[in-house]
Amino acid sequence: MRELEWTSSSDTPARTRLAIVGRGRLGTALAGALSQAGYDVSGPMGRGADGRGADAVLLCVPDAEIAPAASHVAPGPLLGHCSGATGLGELTPHEGFSLHPLMTVTAEGAEFAGAGAAIAGTTPRALAFAAELAEALGMQAVEVAEPDRGAYHAAASIASNFLVTLEAAAGRVAAAAGVQREQLVPLVRATVDNWARLGPERALTGPVARGDEVTIVRQRAAVEDVAPDLTPLFDELVSATRAFAAARDPSGTDTRATGARDGYAGDGSAGDRPRPGGPAGMNVIGTVAELRAELLEPRRAGRRIGLVPTMGAFHEGHLSLMRRARRDCDVVVVSLFVNPAQFNDAGDLDAYPRDPDHDAALAAGVGVDYLFAPSVDEVYPSGFATEVSVAGVTEPLEGAHRGRAHFDGVTTIVTKLFNMVGPDVAYFGQKDAQQAAVIRRLVRDLDIPVAIEVCPTVREADGLAMSSRNMHLSPADRVRATALHRALRAAQDAVSAGERDPGAARERALAELTAVSIEPEYVELVSADTLAPVDRIAGDVLAVLAAVVGGTRLIDNQPIQPNGGTGRP
Ligand code: AMP
For the stretch 334-361, pLDDT in tens is 999 999 999 988 888 999 999 888 899 8
Domain CATH for 287: 3.40.50.620
The answer to whether position 411 is within a domain reads yes
**558 within 8 A of 534, measured Cβ to Cβ:** no
**Among 432, 450, 452, 460, which is best to mutate for testing ligand 1, by the most ligand atoms less than 8 A from CB?**
432
The answer to whether position 398 is within a domain reads yes
Please give the sequence-ordered ranges of beta strands (E in DSSP) within 22-175, or none if there are none: 40-45, 56-59, 78-81, 96-102, 116-121, 140-143
Q: What angle do CA 405, 409, 414 make, to 5 degrees?
A: 150
Tens-place pLDDT, residues 256-287: 223 222 322 233 222 222 333 333 579 999 99
Euclidean distance between CA atoms 504 and 483, whole angstroms: 18
Q: pLDDT confidence of 214, banded at 50, 70, 90?
A: low
Q: pLDDT confidence of 235, banded at 50, 70, 90?
A: confident
Q: Do residues 50 and 109 share a domain?
A: yes
Per DSSP, the three-state class of 334 is strand
Q: What is the pLDDT of residue 565?
A: 53
The answer to whether position 272 is within a domain reads no
Q: Do residues 414 and 305 share a domain?
A: yes
Q: How far apart are the two ends of the chain, measured CA to CA in Å? A: 96
Q: Do residues 73 and 143 share a domain?
A: yes
- The residue type of 483 is A
Closest of 519, 551, 521, 524 to residue 535, by C-alpha:
524
DSSP 216-281: HHHHHHHHHHH-GGGHHHHHHHHHHHHHHHHHS-GGG--GGGG----S---SSSGGGSPPS-STT-
Q: Do residues 332 and 312 share a domain?
A: yes
Euclidean distance between CA atoms 225 and 227, whole angstroms: 6
Euclidean distance between CA atoms 66 and 83, whole angstroms: 9
Q: What is the pLDDT of residue 496?
A: 94
The answer to whether position 138 is within a domain reads yes
Boundary residue ending a domain (427, 455, 483): 455
**509 within 8 A of 491, measured Cβ to Cβ:** yes
Q: Which atom of ligand 1 is nearest to the CA of 465?
A: 19
Tens-place pLDDT, residues 136-169: 999 999 999 888 988 988 998 999 899 999 999 9
Ligand 1 touching residue 320 (CB < 6 A): yes
Q: pLDDT confidence of 444, banded at 50, 70, 90?
A: very high
Tens-place pLDDT, residues 413-441: 999 999 999 999 999 999 999 999 999 99
Ligand 1 touching residue 205 (CB < 6 A): no
The answer to whether position 537 is within a domain reads yes
Q: Which atom of ligand 1 is nearest to the CA of 435?
A: 12
Ligand 1 touching residue 310 (CB < 6 A): yes
DSSP 173-233: HHHHTT--HHHHHHHHHHHHHHHHHH-HHHH--STTTTT-HHHHHHHHHHHHHH-GGGHHH
Q: Do residues 328 and 477 share a domain?
A: no
The answer to whether position 264 is within a domain reads no
**296 within 8 A of 270, measured Cβ to Cβ:** no
The region of weakest confidence among 174-183, 328-337, 383-392, 503-512 is 174-183
Q: Residue of the nearest CA to atom 22 in ligand 1?
A: 429
Ligand 1 touching residue 406 (CB < 6 A): no
Helix axes 162-176, 213-226, angle to 10 degrees: 80
Q: How far is the CA of 333 from the centre of ligand 1 (A)?
A: 15
Q: Do residues 94 and 180 share a domain?
A: no
Domain CATH for 137: 3.40.50.720
Question: Domain range spanning residue 436?
Answer: 278-455
Domain CATH for 176: 1.10.1040
pLDDT tops 80 at residue 450: yes
Q: Do residues 217 and 311 share a domain?
A: no
Euclidean distance between CA atoms 28 and 183, whole angstroms: 33
**554 within 8 A of 546, measured Cβ to Cβ:** yes
Q: How far is the CA of 384 from the centre of ligand 1 (A)?
A: 27
Tens-place pLDDT, residues 299-315: 999 999 999 999 999 99
**40 within 8 A of 15, measured Cβ to Cβ:** yes
pLDDT tops 70 at residue 250: no
Q: Which atom of ligand 1 is nearest to the CA of 432?
A: 12
Residue 282 DSSP symbol: -
Euclidean distance between CA atoms 68 and 344, whole angstroms: 72
Q: Do residues 328 and 441 share a domain?
A: yes
Q: pLDDT confidence of 253, banded at 50, 70, 90?
A: very low
Boundary residue ending a domain (159, 193, 227): 159
- The residue type of 52 is R
Q: What is the pLDDT of residue 232?
A: 85
Tens-place pLDDT, residues 67-98: 999 999 999 899 999 999 899 999 999 999 99
Active-site residue, 72 included: no
Nearest 10 degrees: Cα torsion 373, 377, 378, 379: 80
Q: Which atom of ligand 1 is nearest to the CA of 428?
A: 10
**349 within 8 A of 338, measured Cβ to Cβ:** yes
Strand order from edge to edge, sheet including 283-285: 283-285, 370-372, 331-336, 305-310, 425-429, 451-455
Q: What length does the chain have?
A: 569
Q: What is the pLDDT of residue 262?
A: 30
Closest of 524, 345, 532, 337 to residue 437, by C-alpha:
532
Q: How far is the CA of 57 from the centre of ligand 1 (A)?
A: 77
Q: Do residues 152 and 48 share a domain?
A: yes
Q: How far is the CA of 292 from the centre of ligand 1 (A)?
A: 25
Q: Do residues 129 and 33 share a domain?
A: yes
- The residue type of 279 is P
Domain CATH for 489: 3.30.1300.10
Tens-place pLDDT, residues 2-51: 544 555 444 445 789 999 999 999 999 999 999 999 999 998 998 888 88
What is the average pLDDT across 115-138? 95
Q: What is the mean pLDDT of the chain?
A: 88
Q: Residue of the nearest CA to atom 14 in ligand 1?
A: 429
Q: How many CA atoms lie within 13 A of 119 on its CB side?
A: 23
**Among 318, 362, 552, which is best to mutate for testing ligand 1, by the most ligand atoms less than 8 A from CB?**
318
The answer to whether position 263 is within a domain reads no
Q: What is the pLDDT of residue 276?
A: 35
Q: pLDDT confidence of 564, banded at 50, 70, 90?
A: low
The answer to whether position 265 is within a domain reads no
Ligand 1 touching residue 334 (CB < 6 A): no
Ligand 1 touching residue 457 (CB < 6 A): yes
DSSP 107-140: TTB---TT-EEEEEESSHHHHHHHHHHHHHTT-E
Q: Which of 81, 94, 100, 318 is catalytic?
A: 318
Q: Residue of the nearest CA to atom 18 in ligand 1?
A: 317
Boundary residue ending a domain (455, 486, 506): 455
Q: How far is the CA of 307 from the centre of ligand 1 (A)?
A: 13
Residues 6+ apart with CB under 8 A from 557: 430, 431, 433, 457, 488, 542, 543, 544, 545
Q: Do residues 71 and 155 share a domain?
A: yes
The domain tally of the chain equals 4
φ, ψ for residue 206 (rounded to 5)?
A: 100, 180
φ, ψ for residue 228 (rounded to 5)?
A: -55, -30
Residues 6+ apart with CB under 8 A from 131: 119, 141
Q: Do residues 293 and 437 share a domain?
A: yes
**537 within 8 A of 530, measured Cβ to Cβ:** no
Ligand 1 touching residue 318 (CB < 6 A): yes
